[in-house]
Structure 1
């Protein structure tokens, strides 16, 4: 029998959280679901915990695979999914008991290809609501979504697949899969294609997903050796997407400003957080400034751009002038300030 919704949960080093995650899925008011737990070669007990749950509820399936990264685990889940709709939940997060009923009901009633919601950011001492970053409570057509794609990075609606429910037919129609070569910020290239192909989209201004700010997650680790490689692969995937759909001219400014505001500072902060010598860090900064994605963004974004904040304008100016020792000093000082804030 075909379930209405398939929920895909990749698991890697989520042992402290996976129980709460699965419990939140089993409490769904929508019972017509299947839960696909993908053990991505995790070294902890997440896989064993998942198997214990599967023995207790027939809606749970566990798939074990060698470690291939988040994109690989999600693709494994997509291939195994039988539902009319597909949703994603990260193994260290959890969801409202009404999430999949609300999303599926809206999708069925309005013939939606994608339906999304707001979410809560949960830290150890606070919970903050993040509303949807597209207009809520109205159906957006394919033509309207094409317009929204011109500002996809500014509005950030292409971040995070876990706040959306996707119609399975969309995957088949658009040959949607995650790029397994990208192991960092892999959601946005996927969502660019998904939203471009979607005929009807709707957002609900409801906090149905709880994103846990996990200090041990990949996004929170200060130094990521593979970041440069994967951000460049992400950039190349986006350029290929824009070229394929004839959107390169319309979307280039949005991508350039995004790189200057977010990815360039991430790359520079990552280089300065490395254990390398000061000489090697400055060499790495010069290398980052030579990347095609960085050169294009720095060259074509004026540091007076209205979307840039004061600190972002300063960083962009230093990059335009290639003053590596000041770039290094700026990010080292910022790193120390973040460290002291965490200790406070």
Structure 2
């Protein structure tokens, strides 16, 4: 066993025999192998201890602890006391992770020089799977930017749980961050709040690598009494308000106070459960809500979602090869598709990203020499270009990149037209073009 593993993976186990093998197998089959697996048996009374003993005897990376029942918070704290890794990753015993999960999280942490990596995840309910994620930024975020996203959609598991994140153990230890054993329902959320206050850089890995199984009796699906619900809401109200007061300077905090209190007011009126906290029965609103039920009828919005995600899937390998994000590639495709003369605002709108992201992406493409721009005053006067417009062209240096993009788009087109006849392909393209023209005409009126 490596005395200094790169990652400490922590799994608290309590009567999880039915799902435990699936969880453990997913960890031991990780493409990334430099880890220790801390299995913490919290006084299980089912077959879990025997299963844990079996696995511990087969893999030297496993460190197994059998202990009296003390609750999930104290169990995780004991595991943190034992951990030796550079990074810390948590799992629940009901769930599992994709083979590339730890590899991608560690790579993102080190390449982006992040203090925290947050990933998308899959929610599994019976035979149905939905992809959950909330942030679509490809660059490293400071705490204020991340907190802004969190403020927009605080009722999302994405922010509250610990199992879709990779932490720095040094940061945890230097600041003595631990779960509160006295809090039985929102310990993940409070742990994250405290950890975030020490973060300078947070990166959102837009790849779903964790399979969260919603099952009654799991670590994140316990009932709440009315009294405990009221107490918890009051406590979280204070934590949440204090968190934003510490994140933003006084002027920014005052400017955002209405938004913060607006959430807290709705939060306090909800007599049900606090959906973004572990320990409640519902997930609440989640920005990406993809129903994989084949009997569900697709709408224009879901079709657009599927096609955008599919395009991103084909663009991603190209981006990895050239060290470009999908946003960079969409900006490049937009430059190729529109007239040379366009404004930054139009570029962002056509690419479907914010103006800030479009500007940063364009700057990156310019610096790497894939794009050139001219904004001479003479050109503006003689050609009628509005002030602030850009005269953009893709350079010869981008020839190989462009060729790879053309191949990716061809693969994308083949995928969405799978099973089409030649006539159906022609009709589809014709109707799509007409629909686009109709949309443009409607917007211009």
Instruction: Provide the TM-score with structure 1 as the length reference.
Output: 0.69
For residues 200 and 21 of structure 1, the distance between their equivalents in structure 2, rounded to whole angstroms, comes to 30
- 1:24-43 deviation line (CA, Å, top 9, x unaligned): 00000001001000111111
How far did 1:172 drift? 2.2
Any conservation in 2 of the 1:149–1:196 contact (CA below 8 Å)?
no
For residues 181 and 54 of structure 1, the distance between their equivalents in structure 2, rounded to whole angstroms, comes to 31
Instruction: Name the structure 1 match of 2:170.
Output: 169
Instruction: Name the structure 2 match of 1:258.
Output: 267
Counterpart pick for 2:69 among 67, 70, 95: 67
CA RMSD, Structure 1 to Structure 2 (Å): 2.4
In structure 2, the residue corresponding to 1:162 is in which secondary structure?
A: coil
Higher relative contact order (CA 8 A, sep 6+): 1
1:213-252 to 2 correspondences below 5 Å: 213-217=214-218, 219-220=220-221, 223-225=223-225, 228-229=227-228, 232-233=231-232, 235-236=234-235, 239-240=238-239, 242-243=241-242, 246-247=245-246, 250=257, 251-252=260-261
TM-aligned CA distance change 1:183 to 1:35, over 3 Å: same
In structure 2, the residue corresponding to 1:145 is in which secondary structure?
A: helix
Q: Is 1:112 matched with 2:119? A: no
For residues 121 and 240 of structure 1, the distance between their equivalents in structure 2, rounded to whole angstroms, comes to 27
Any conservation in 2 of the 1:120–1:127 contact (CA below 8 Å)?
yes
TM-aligned CA distance change 1:266 to 1:142, over 3 Å: closer
How far did 1:243 drift? 3.6
1:1-344 to 2 correspondences below 5 Å: 1-131=3-133, 133-148=134-149, 150-151=151-152, 153-154=154-155, 156-217=157-218, 219-220=220-221, 223-225=223-225, 228-229=227-228, 232-233=231-232, 235-236=234-235, 239-240=238-239, 242-243=241-242, 246-247=245-246, 250=257, 251-261=260-270, 264-266=271-273
TM-aligned CA distance change 1:38 to 1:230, over 3 Å: farther
In structure 2, the residue corresponding to 1:203 is in which secondary structure?
A: strand
- 1:54-97 deviation line (CA, Å, top 9, x unaligned): 11101001112221211111111111110000010000100001
Instruction: Name the structure 1 match of 2:285.
Output: none
For residues 166 and 93 of structure 1, the distance between their equivalents in structure 2, rounded to whole angstroms, comes to 19
Any conservation in 2 of the 1:152–1:254 contact (CA below 8 Å)?
no
TM-aligned CA distance change 1:23 to 1:205, over 3 Å: same
For residues 105 and 34 of structure 1, the distance between their equivalents in structure 2, rounded to whole angstroms, comes to 17
TM-aligned CA distance change 1:206 to 1:200, over 3 Å: same
Instruction: Provide the TM-score with structure 2 as the length reference.
Output: 0.54
In structure 1, the residue corresponding to 2:127 is in which secondary structure?
A: coil
Any conservation in 1 of the 2:118–2:205 contact (CA below 8 Å)?
yes
How far did 1:173 drift? 3.4
TM-aligned CA distance change 1:204 to 1:40, over 3 Å: same
TM-aligned CA distance change 1:243 to 1:215, over 3 Å: closer
How far did 1:45 drift? 1.9
For residues 15 and 240 of structure 1, the distance between their equivalents in structure 2, rounded to whole angstroms, comes to 35
How many residues align? The count is 262
TM-aligned CA distance change 1:62 to 1:198, over 3 Å: same
Gap runs ≥5 in structure 1: 268-344
For residues 218 and 2 of structure 1, the distance between their equivalents in structure 2, rounded to whole angstroms, comes to 29
How far did 1:228 drift? 3.5
- 1:99-158 deviation line (CA, Å, top 9, x unaligned): 000000110111111102111111222111112x23342210133234445446245542
TM-aligned CA distance change 1:219 to 1:87, over 3 Å: closer
Q: Which region of structure 1 is more displaced relative to structure 2, 147-156 or 89-98?
A: 147-156
For residues 239 and 216 of structure 2, the distance between their equivalents in structure 1, rounded to whole angstroms, comes to 33
In structure 1, the residue corresponding to 2:46 is in which secondary structure?
A: coil
- Higher alpha-carbon Rg: 2
Gap runs ≥5 in structure 2: 247-252, 275-445
In structure 2, the residue corresponding to 1:17 is in which secondary structure?
A: helix
For residues 189 and 173 of structure 1, the distance between their equivalents in structure 2, rounded to whole angstroms, comes to 17
In structure 1, the residue corresponding to 2:163 is in which secondary structure?
A: helix
For residues 46 and 230 of structure 1, the distance between their equivalents in structure 2, rounded to whole angstroms, comes to 31
